[in-house]
Each structure stands twice: as C-alpha cells, then as structure tokens.
Chains A and B, each alone.
Chain A
C-alpha cells in the first residue's frame, strides 16, 4: 500500500473512535463539592437503564436505549406555540366596569394592533361606555340626603404599548394543550365625558391607561383575550367641586384575529 493511501485508511478507521471520544463527557477537573458523597453515580447508572426491563426499555423495545435518553446533558428547548411578530391583530371586546358601585359602565370597543416583535405590540383602542345607574344611588340619596357627583364617561381612544414577557401552555382536563401569554399594557390618549359636550364644551380630556391580561391561542389565527384595564383622566364633575383624577377600571373580554392567518416558526 502506498504511504498516502495507508494513512487515509488508518484515519478512516480511527474516525469512529474520535467521534465516540467527542460524545463522552470531558473530564471534570474541578474539585467535588465538600461533604457531598459520591455514591449517587452508581445508583443513577443503575436506574438509567442497566436494570433490564425498565419502563423506558419496554417502551422502546431495545435494551440499553434508556442510556441515550437519560444521559442527555442538553435539555430540550420547546418552541413557542404561537408567533405574533409581524402580524396584524384585530380585536372586538366588551369591558364592564368594576370599580363604581353607583354608576356602572358597560364598555364595548375594538382594537387594531401590530406586533413589532413577538413580545411587543402597538395598538389603537377605542371604547364606548353605556352607563348603568344602580340601586345604591337612590339608597345613598335617602340615607345621606345628598346628591352624588360623578364624572360620566362616554368613551376613550388610546394608543397603547403591549408587552408580553410571559408565555406558557395549559392542559385542558389533561388532554388538549392551549398556548397562552400574559401581557402588560400602558398608553395614552383622550377621553370624552359629559363635560366634553354642551353646555360646558370642554372637549376631550387627556387620558392614560394601564392594564394587564392573558391571551389564549386555540389555533394559528384566533385568540381569546381576558384582561383588566384602568383608565385615568382629569374631569370636574361639577363646577362647584374641584377637578379630580377619575379612575375607571374595566374587565375586558375580547376576541382577536391575527393577519396573516398563519405563521412560520423562526429560530432566534
């Protein structure tokens, strides 16, 4: 055999040994933790598959295959189940108020959002509020012989940033899996109240909102949105009373559609 050809042959024969050497964990030169017995290793290897007939071996049907699975040092990273980046989001929602026992508000509205990143979106939200006067207004008038002053909110238009740092998945009755994320919402805009119109004609009031919620993704283009939003605006309910910051807290229940309806998974 020519020297060059002989060398190639030996290299090829040695290659599997080199690959096998790379698969073996390297020698750990650090000192073992003090006071920690090193007796766990034999037990672990025994549990890992040396015992014949372990459940994993039975499932695989190949003795010793458990070693390959259980000795894997690189943990699996699961992919997100829903990708929002670059997608348009259209939402319709209802928003009943939960912090005014006298004049409850039932809000209905819509949102158009664009997801700049998978965890960051900009959204334009508009809400119209139907006022509902409760029994407590009358009971307060009877007991206190007084009139209740309240700002009457008609609607809001807000530009919000939506940040969703948390994602996860739910098992429904231990069977089907539903992906979800949780988000924080903050932004600013304008609010219209009774004082925005005649006779006071003060126009829209500067407003801000702050909220949080959770979104469930049953498929690639649909999402159920459950959240709570607090809207703040300055208003003077009566000219004899001082102006104050009004706070309206609503629970939002919405249905969103994402466009385009599908997505491709990307690797960071």
Chain B
C-alpha cells in the first residue's frame, strides 16, 4: 500500500471517528433554542378548597394580650386569587403594662374594676376576606433542601366583638353591685400579609400577620366617651388542607 493510500485510510478513519460526535452535536442543536426553561408552580391552588385550623396571638397590645383559635374556609378562584370566611375566638389576659407600682406598696396587678375602663378585651372576630397571591417562590435552604411557598396580600371586612369599655363611674357602680361590663360589637376591616409553605399538594403551613382596625368607645377624661380608632395586630399560624382540583 502506498503512502498516499495510507493517508486516505487515515482520513477515512478520522472521518468515521468523527461521525458519533457529529451526531451528538446535532442532538445538542436539536434542543438548543427550542425548549425554554420553565419554572413551574409545583403546587397549584386553582379551583381548590382550603380548610385551615389556626391559632392566633395578638401583638403590640396596650392592655390585653389575646390567645385565639379559629378556622378559615377558603376557595381559590385561581392560583392568584381566593376568597375565605374566617372565625376565631379565645381568651384575653391583662398584660404587664397593667402592673401598677408605688414606692411604698411595691407592684400589684390592676383591679378588675380598673381593667373594665380600658379597651382591647376582644371576644371573637368573624369576617370574610380576599387574598391576592402574586408571588410563588422556591427557597434553597443551606444548599440542601428546596421549599415551595407563596405570599399573599389579604384584605377583609369583619365583625369584632369585645368587652365594652366602662366609664370610671359605671365601673365603680358595676363593681359594687357585683355586675360587670357586657360585650359590644363593631364592624371593622383588616389588612395583612400571608404565606404558605407547602409540604405536599394537599397541605401547607400558613403564617399570616393581620392588622384589624375598628372603632371603640373609650374614656377621654370627661363624663362621656368618644369613639376612637383601634388597631389590633394578630399573628396567625395554621395548617392548610387543600381539597379538590388537580393540585398542580
């Protein structure tokens, strides 16, 4: 075999060797610019019901701290919009700002009669709300696990039932007669932020921060009371269960 023939054999061998690489190149080209990367929403909520038992703790209280429990029933019109009805009730307890200190007698708790004269002793709250969830996210925690979550803006209208605020004279009279203040209700609104952290397609942890705003009659130092705007912040923690729909 001549040197020229040898060279042709070498070229042919090189061309044969390159054939699979060319095939792989065409594979890459086939994918290139044809499949866009899509970040999917793994846990869908559209057309699903949501049931959430929840616990609520009041924040930034002047006189009473509240420990409530409740439930929320919602329906997701889409992945971004949902409506819900909520109800919660529980116990209120006088906080540390009602501890009275004197140089001679030390510190004592405020009496029941004194506590009847201040606002914030809520009994229960019921309302309807709309949630807008424009944000769906994935979180990488310490480079190991991925959490799926969403964020919501919440707005609603409520009926807020609370202990009526008595004037000092009323409180003294009721205290001496063995009575006490009744309850009074007022309409209110709330705004808030919330998040779901998904465990599965049917369950998620729910955390919400809401500011309830309503009017209450309070003492102003004169014989009559005045209606003043009240703010009540609640931190609500619940477990959401999603029912119906495809879930993704």
A contact residues vs B (CB 8 Å cutoff): 1-2, 5, 8-9, 12-13, 15-16, 19-20, 56, 59-62, 65, 68-69, 98-102, 134-136, 138-140, 142-144, 146, 148, 165-174, 177, 180, 182, 240-241
Q: Tell me which of B26-34, B156-164, B174-182, B237-245 binds A.
A: B26-34
> Within 8 Å of chain A (Cβ to Cβ): is B124?
no
- Residue on A nearest B134 in the bound complex, by CB: A173
> Within 8 Å of chain A (Cβ to Cβ): is B119?
yes
Q: How many Å lie between the Cα of A143 and that of B175 in the bound state?
A: 14
Distance between B74 CB and nearest chain A CB, rounded to angstroms: 19
Q: How many Å lie between the Cα of A142 and that of B115 in the bound state?
A: 11
Known: A8-B10, A60-B35. A99 touches B60 (CB 8 A): yes
On whether the beta carbons of B20 and A171 are closer than 8 Å, the reply is no
Task: Return 12 A-B CB contacts under 8 Å, by A number.
Answer: A8-B10, A19-B20, A20-B20, A62-B30, A98-B233, A99-B59, A135-B218, A136-B118, A139-B118, A142-B117, A144-B98, A168-B146
**Which residues of the other chain, A, contact B151 by a CB distance below 8 angstroms?**
170
**Which residues of the other chain, A, contact B79 by a CB distance below 8 angstroms?**
174
Pair count A-B, CB < 8 A: 132
**Which residues of the other chain, B, contact A148 by a CB distance below 8 angstroms?**
97
Q: Tell me which of B48-56, B85-93, B135-143, B199-207 binds A.
A: B135-143
Q: How many Å lie between the Cα of A96 and that of B190 in the bound state?
A: 19
Which of A1, A56, A65, A172 interacts with B27 by CB under 8 Å? A65
Q: How many Å lie between the Cα of A212 and that of B133 in the bound state?
A: 23
On whether the beta carbons of A15 and B17 are closer than 8 Å, the reply is yes
Distance between B248 CB and nearest chain A CB, rounded to angstroms: 13
**Which residues of the other chain, A, contact B35 by a CB distance below 8 angstroms?**
56, 59-60
Q: How many Å lie between the Cα of A148 and that of B96 in the bound state?
A: 12
On whether the beta carbons of A16 and B140 are closer than 8 Å, the reply is no
| 81-107 of chain B: CB within 8 A of chain A | 97-98, 100-101, 103
Which of B10, B30, B98, B118 interacts with A9 by CB under 8 Å? B10
- Residue on A nearest B31 in the bound complex, by CB: A60
On whether the beta carbons of B118 and A171 are closer than 8 Å, the reply is no
Q: How many Å lie between the Cα of A101 and that of B34 in the bound state?
A: 58
Known: A1-B6, A144-B98. A180 touches B20 (CB 8 A): no
On whether the beta carbons of B118 and A170 are closer than 8 Å, the reply is no
> Within 8 Å of chain A (Cβ to Cβ): is B61?
yes
Q: How many Å lie between the Cα of A244 and that of B192 in the bound state?
A: 33
On whether the beta carbons of B114 and A143 are closer than 8 Å, the reply is yes
On whether the beta carbons of B137 and A59 are closer than 8 Å, the reply is no
On whether the beta carbons of A61 and B34 are closer than 8 Å, the reply is yes
On whether the beta carbons of A5 and B30 are closer than 8 Å, the reply is no
**Known contacts A13-B16, A99-B59, then 8 further A-B pairs from the complex at CB < 8 Å, ordered by chain A residue:** A9-B9, A16-B21, A98-B233, A101-B97, A143-B168, A146-B100, A172-B135, A174-B79
**Which residues of the other chain, A, contact B100 by a CB distance below 8 angstroms?**
144, 146
**Which residues of the other chain, A, contact B61 by a CB distance below 8 angstroms?**
101
> Within 8 Å of chain A (Cβ to Cβ): is B220?
yes
On whether the beta carbons of B168 and A142 are closer than 8 Å, the reply is yes
On whether the beta carbons of A136 and B62 are closer than 8 Å, the reply is yes
Which of B59, B136, B221, B228 interacts with A171 by CB under 8 Å? B136
**Which residues of the other chain, B, contact A139 by a CB distance below 8 angstroms?**
62, 117-119, 218-219
**Which residues of the other chain, B, contact A143 by a CB distance below 8 angstroms?**
110, 114-115, 117-118, 168, 219
On whether the beta carbons of A166 and B139 are closer than 8 Å, the reply is yes
Q: How many Å lie between the Cα of A240 and that of B106 in the bound state?
A: 12
Distance between B178 CB and nearest chain A CB, rounded to angstroms: 20
**Which residues of the other chain, B, contact A20 by a CB distance below 8 angstroms?**
20
**Which residues of the other chain, A, contact B80 by a CB distance below 8 angstroms?**
173-174
Which of A99, A169, A241 interacts with B101 by CB under 8 Å? A241
Q: How many Å lie between the Cα of A20 and that of B34 in the bound state?
A: 26
**Which residues of the other chain, B, contact A182 by a CB distance below 8 angstroms?**
139
Q: How many Å lie between the Cα of A234 and that of B171 in the bound state?
A: 38
Residue interface mask B1-19, A partner, CB < 8 A = 1: 1000010011001101101
